Structure 1
Amino acid sequence: MALPRLQGLTLFLSYAILAAVLGMLQFGYNTGVINAPEVNIENFMKDVYKDRYGEDIKESAVKRLYSVAVSIFAIGGMLGGFSGGMIANRFGRKGGLLLNNVLGIVGACLMGCTKIANSYEILFLGRFIIGVNCGLNTSLVPMYISEIAPLNLRGGLGTVNQLAVTVGLLVSQVLGIEQILGTRDRWPVLLGLAICPAILQLLLLPFCPESPRYLLITKQWEEEARKALRRLRASNQVEEDIEEMRAEERAQQAEASISMTELICSPTLRAPLVIGVVMQLSQQLSGINAVFYYSTDLFMSSGLTEESAKFATIGIGAIMVGMTLVSIPLMDRTGRRTLHLYGLGGMFIFSIFITISFLIKEFFGFVQEMIDWMSYLSVVSTLSFVVFFAVGPGSIPWMITAELFSQGPRPAAMSIAVLVNWMANFLVGICFPSMKTALDTYTFLPFSAFLAIFWIFTYKKVPETKNKTFEEILALFRHGNDRSSLRESRLYGSMLNCVNALEEHIPPAESAALMVAEEKPHPDSFVFAAGSERSSIAPAQPERPPPPLPPPRFPNSGV
């Protein structure tokens, strides 16, 4: 059963996807790399401050500086994500990824030189620049992969985005342990290793083709698009793909250069845009980044030793990789919407268990056996929370945003969705320490509330996009908008049929008057598109000669 689902996965397509997802590996690495060396970075900031001002910095100020180092990455991500659509249209998907690696190299070098420069401002600048790089990656990579993947593999290959993110997280967590690079002297090397994915992508990506959709629809280079498809499909039989792109181009010709303002104001595209934005929020406001950024501290507060907490954090990365691999075949078999519902539901349940574990520690903290049991409950609940994140919310928001839009509005939609994602990422990164201090044992309850809201929204509003072309997905929303008008038109058509049936029984003079009225267009008549056919509602009735016989007289009617 698994073999047919791999039809179309050629060696060169696999190579192109591998080269592209190095950008998402960069994103995952820099998301997780700041976690393990938290104590060493804070000690470095204390030393720099004392060297400059000759006095010790307050502990609260150190925490604030560290939260800046964490969250400024997301500020850069907002800028990069927002400009992703413009970069994609100007330089292409592949061209934008190649240029983006310059930022990756600069940001990694700055972070690696933080200790040499004896300046935490250099760390902030490097984190900001690498954030811009990762923001562009989160916009360009899913767009590129969704446009080169065959229809039957788009879901599974789209999940490779999240697989690369989880591998990056795991690598950063493993390298961050004290036995490798998580020491007082080597942590800048840990941050500077972000240069590796950028250099590797610069070496591999030039041999990959540009997105065929970009070449055909945006640049109008049909022969170049054919060449790219032949290489990706390892076949000369690419007419089906070309025809699908042409159909998409015809359907979206009026929106070929759609701007963000036009996208927001479009009634047809507003519904998929809202869904894309809420799906991105469901990923970030689920509480997962609180786990990624502060899991070591979270485990320590639940009773684990520092060393055990770091190994538990590595367990999070390992589970993310394993569950993402499991979700790849499920994506095209089960469907995006179903997996997202499972993921959000499981996260909601285990966020409650995380809160319960904190409450047990507070009320039974004097019993050592209870503390040990609670520590296990906290770890298991957190790891299960991550498992369900990997099942759905980890990969589906990136994928479904690209699937909900056709070629014209897709870059603008990706820019808006990624901007929202990074804004939520920033809010969680900057607010979680303060929220943890204020709410203490109830820290995860706001995330539980958000998860419940997002589950309801997904159940009621999100369509299934499995094995649907971009044009078919757009038709779902177009028909949704036309549903109320269609009901009105059907009612109007039924009224006309009744009038026509009675027409034979009215006097000739009144029949002639009715025919004149029929020739005038009805104000409620309209034309709507359904797929590639156009159907006219309430067409003018054909002329019929006046009846030759006088109308019958109805008993008790006075006629």
Structure 2
Amino acid sequence: MIKMNHCELEEVTHHINDKISTLKRLLELRAVAKDPDKRGMLLKIEQEVTCINDLLDRFERYVVQQRDLLKHLKALEDFFHEDELDAHHMKDNVPPHMPKRGQHSNPHGGEQVAVQSRQPDAPSAPQVTEPPRKAQRNQIKEMEIITVPEFDNIPPYMKGRVTYDQLNTTVESINKAVAAKYKILHQSVKTLNNASRSLQQRFKDQETKETKGQFFIVEQDIKEFTQLKVDKRFVSMLNMLRHCQRFREVRGRRQTMAGALRELIKSPLLVAAIFISGIGGTFQYGFNISVLNSPSFFIKELVNSTCQQRYGRSLEPWQLSLIWSFIVSVYSIGGLAGTLYAGRVAGVYGRKTTLLMNNILAVCGGVLMLLSKTAGSFEMIMVARVLYGVNAGVGLTVHTMYILECAPKRLRGMVGVSVASFASMGKFTGQLLGISEVFGAEDRWIWLLSFSGAAGLLQLLTLPFLPESPRYLLLEKADKHSCETALLKLWGREKDPRPEVEEMLAEHAALKGVRIHSLMNLLMDQSVRWQLLTLIVTFVTVQLCGINAVTAGIAKQNLRYAALGTGLCEVSTSIFCGLIIEHTGKRVLLFRGYLFMAATLLLLTLTLYLQDFVSWMPYCSMVLIFMYIFFFSTGPAAVTAPLPGEIFTQSYKPPAFMVAYVLNWTGLFLVGMLFPLIVEHLDYFCFLIFFIFCFFSGVFVWFHVPETKNKTVLEISEDFKRMHQKRRNSLQSKLGSIHINDIQITTSTKF
């Protein structure tokens, strides 16, 4: 029998009473919950209690974070206190500048002089003269640190806000670049990897008569080996270092227009290759874009008369327009088909063989055009347009690959512009031959349409005298002897092809065992993501920048002469661009062209709006159109076409050209189909759409595309990686830093 005392009994009683009261409250709450009026209030109370619980949890986490932050701040305070003590010690004990070895600092702050101390009463000991030490071989000279008196003597207008430490940090960075450069130069070629060999060859090419035997660096070396930004601040620091006589500046010899032309003329077979490949390449593309404008009336008449003879009735206007639209647009479909297989065929059979076989399509198309009127068959014109499209699609891709791979690195920009120049010449030739005084008459228009066959026949007869692409022979056929033979033929015996062969071999070694990539490999490979984005942005904008529709604001009675004028302007400016591109640089021409085109489109929209109010405003519109064509031809038109061959390695070139020209043909087709509808609904405000494309493409090139002038494909690829790696590292450092924004520190001082 269990005995319980009085206290325990009271505790049990209280516990039972508490439970009973709790049950009563629960029953009361249950009754309240059944009441619809009070149930909503209970739900609100429940939500508020939940919110309070969440706030308490967040407050608890915040307290823990603040406690950790407080510990971190205390550690920083101790660290800064130690640094402050060290700084005070250095301030009290370190002299204004460290004297050189064997010298003592002049206390009066003048020049540093050598002082030989001597005791007057002691006998003079015999002086031991050490033999002069031999200068170490391959010893690299460094720039001396700026002393405090030297820094104080720099004029304030030159010094600006630059501090003593910042200037000496720049000196150390320059010394680092010099040491890294000459370490590579002093090494044997056999001990270097492929990237270092390429750098060593570049350093040797930089040397001139003025720099021979001297230690020197150029802007590209500073970007290569340091984190310095070559901006206005850096230039001002160089001026200060020059004032302190730490270095002297030798102006490098930039490749001038005349020098590039002289170098090109020394290679007559290369000049012949430019013209022969261009006639059967992009010339065909441009010619067939513009050639249908003049004989459109005669072709429609042939279509109508053919249907009249076959079916005994004339076509309705909408039926005739439908057939005409198909004749025009089927060219783009053929071009797209030719682009899809051009890269693969060029990789298997070679650039030269592909161009030769491609001319058979042009000749067949010319024969069909020539017989179409006699046979009374407009279907022959359609088939011929398809053949012309396939021919242009293949020629546009393979011509660009072939001519860029034949050109030396220093002339690649000028030779690459010829791709756009021949396209412009093709457009202008189609417009010029299409006037009624030449081939634009009723009895001669079939000769105009068959002209592409004659151009293809000309290339078919002359191209066998040219060599195959040297890069194709070396990188894809592994035939070094044939590559060197082709280079000697193309560049002449005076130019040594071995440096460029070494660069090709370096690329070949980097791509050893790598086959030609497929389109899917190109789209999935992260290492070429920015090159692919550059390709997409530039080629989409070339078609959607409005160049094919910019004459929409010209009156119809002046359109014929305006087309000739704009065509001639496009040809002349593209040729002019070829002369300045090696001096200016491709990246500058590209983003400057897009931004100026965007500004011109805005002004053109304004002048077209004011034409109804101001009588002389149409002349302003015409001037702006010619300015627009000038900026287009000297920038995007000249630089974009050869871009895939410059920014992609050999294994990625076929799919890259495929993507580029698929976008080109698709854009051409969409502009031809949609632009009339856009003009119908938006009128002259349609140019604002083209403005958006031009502006954002210019900004993209400014921030994401490096310069490609005088660089190998591997160097350009490294520039892409370096450019975007810096941005990624900068972003990560910003995210990883601690920002204290919500804490206010108040200090008070009592006297």
Above 0.5 in TM-score?
yes
TM-superposition CA deviations, 1:520-541 (whole Å, max 9, x none): xxxxxxxxxxxxxxxxxxxxxx
What is the one-letter code of the residue matched to 2:659? I
Deviation at 1:281, TM superposition (A): 1.0
After superposition, the Cα gap between the structure-2 partners of 1:151 and 1:191, relative to the gap in structure 1 and judged at 3 Å, is same
TM-superposition CA deviations, 1:13-66 (whole Å, max 9, x none): 111222111112121211211123333333443444444444443434433333
In structure 1, the partner of 2:555 is 303
SS in 2 for 1:83: helix
Match of 1:260 among 503, 519, 527: 519
In structure 1, the partner of 2:411 is 153
Match of 2:276 among 3, 19, 38: 19
In structure 2, the partner of 1:335 is 585
Does the alignment pair 1:346 with 2:605?
A: no
What is the one-letter code of the residue matched to 1:335? G
In structure 1, the partner of 2:299 is 41
After superposition, the Cα gap between the structure-2 partners of 1:40 and 1:229, relative to the gap in structure 1 and judged at 3 Å, is same
TM-superposition CA deviations, 1:288-332 (whole Å, max 9, x none): 1235xxx5xx46xx4342xx4212211111111110111012211
Deviation at 1:243, TM superposition (A): 0.6
The 10-residue stretch of structure 1 (61-70 or 89-98) with the greater mean CA deviation from structure 2: 61-70
TM-superposition CA deviations, 1:97-143 (whole Å, max 9, x none): 11100111112222333322333332222111101100111110111
What is the correspondence of 1:182-197 to structure 2 with a 5 Å cutoff? 182-197=440-455
In structure 1, the partner of 2:572 is 322
TM-superposition CA deviations, 1:405-452 (whole Å, max 9, x none): 111111221111111111111111222223232333333332222222
CA distance in 2, matches of 1:89, 1:238: 23
CA distance in 2, matches of 1:49, 1:388: 46
User: Contact 2:706 / 2:723 at 8 angstroms: preserved in 1?
Assistant: no
Deviation at 1:342, TM superposition (A): 2.4
CA distance in 1, matches of 2:600, 2:448: 32
CA distance in 2, matches of 1:350, 1:410: 34
Match of 2:501 among 222, 230, 242: 242
Unaligned runs of 5+ in 2: 1-255, 735-751
SS in 2 for 1:463: coil
Match of 1:432 among 675, 680, 684: 675
After superposition, the Cα gap between the structure-2 partners of 1:479 and 1:384, relative to the gap in structure 1 and judged at 3 Å, is closer
User: Contact 1:256 / 1:409 at 8 angstroms: preserved in 2?
Assistant: no
What is the correspondence of 1:4-403 to structure 2 with a 5 Å cutoff? 4-6=259-261, 8-9=263-264, 10-22=267-279, 23-235=281-493, 237-291=496-550, 295=551, 298=552, 302-305=554-557, 308-361=558-611, 363-364=612-613, 370=615, 373-403=616-646
CA distance in 2, matches of 1:124, 1:435: 27
In structure 1, the partner of 2:142 is none
CA distance in 1, matches of 2:621, 2:732: 58
SS in 1 for 2:439: coil
Deviation at 1:5, TM superposition (A): 2.5
User: Contact 1:226 / 1:238 at 8 angstroms: preserved in 2?
Assistant: yes
CA distance in 1, matches of 2:269, 2:587: 30
CA distance in 1, matches of 2:619, 2:733: 62
CA distance in 2, matches of 1:68, 1:395: 30
What is the one-letter code of the residue matched to 2:701? T
SS in 2 for 1:171: helix
CA RMSD across the alignment: 2.4
TM-superposition CA deviations, 1:306-364 (whole Å, max 9, x none): xx421221111111111011101221111111111222223223333443444345x45
SS in 1 for 2:506: helix
After superposition, the Cα gap between the structure-2 partners of 1:205 and 1:438, relative to the gap in structure 1 and judged at 3 Å, is same
CA distance in 2, matches of 1:312, 1:488: 51
User: Contact 2:705 / 2:720 at 8 angstroms: preserved in 1?
Assistant: no
SS in 1 for 2:549: helix
Does the alignment pair 1:477 with 2:720?
A: yes
CA distance in 2, matches of 1:439, 1:184: 36
What is the one-letter code of the residue matched to 1:79? A
TM-superposition CA deviations, 1:221-249 (whole Å, max 9, x none): 11111111111121273221211110011
TM-superposition CA deviations, 1:471-526 (whole Å, max 9, x none): 101112333565578779999xxxxxxxxxxxxxxxxxxxxxxxxxxxxxxxxxxx
In structure 2, the partner of 1:517 is none
User: Contact 2:577 / 2:638 at 8 angstroms: preserved in 1?
Assistant: no
Unaligned runs of 5+ in 1: 492-559
What is the one-letter code of the residue matched to 1:408? S
CA distance in 2, matches of 1:489, 1:282: 32
CA distance in 1, matches of 2:316, 2:605: 30
SS in 1 for 2:293: coil
What is the one-letter code of the residue matched to 1:11? P
In structure 1, the partner of 2:707 is 464
TM-superposition CA deviations, 1:379-421 (whole Å, max 9, x none): 3332222222111121211122210011111122111111111
Match of 2:692 among 439, 445, 449: 449
TM-score by length of 2: 0.60
CA distance in 2, matches of 1:409, 1:238: 24
User: Contact 1:268 / 1:477 at 8 angstroms: preserved in 2?
Assistant: no
What is the one-letter code of the residue matched to 1:12? L
CA distance in 1, matches of 2:732, 2:594: 39
Higher relative CO (CA 8 A, sep ≥ 6), structure 1 or 2?
1
Q: Which runs of 4+ in 1 moved over 6 A?
A: 484-491
CA distance in 2, matches of 1:359, 1:50: 45
What is the one-letter code of the residue matched to 1:67? S
TM-score by length of 1: 0.80
Identity of aligned residues (%): 33
What is the one-letter code of the residue matched to 2:268? L
User: Contact 2:608 / 2:618 at 8 angstroms: preserved in 1?
Assistant: no
CA distance in 2, matches of 1:274, 1:51: 53
What is the count of residue pairs matched by the alignment?
Answer: 475
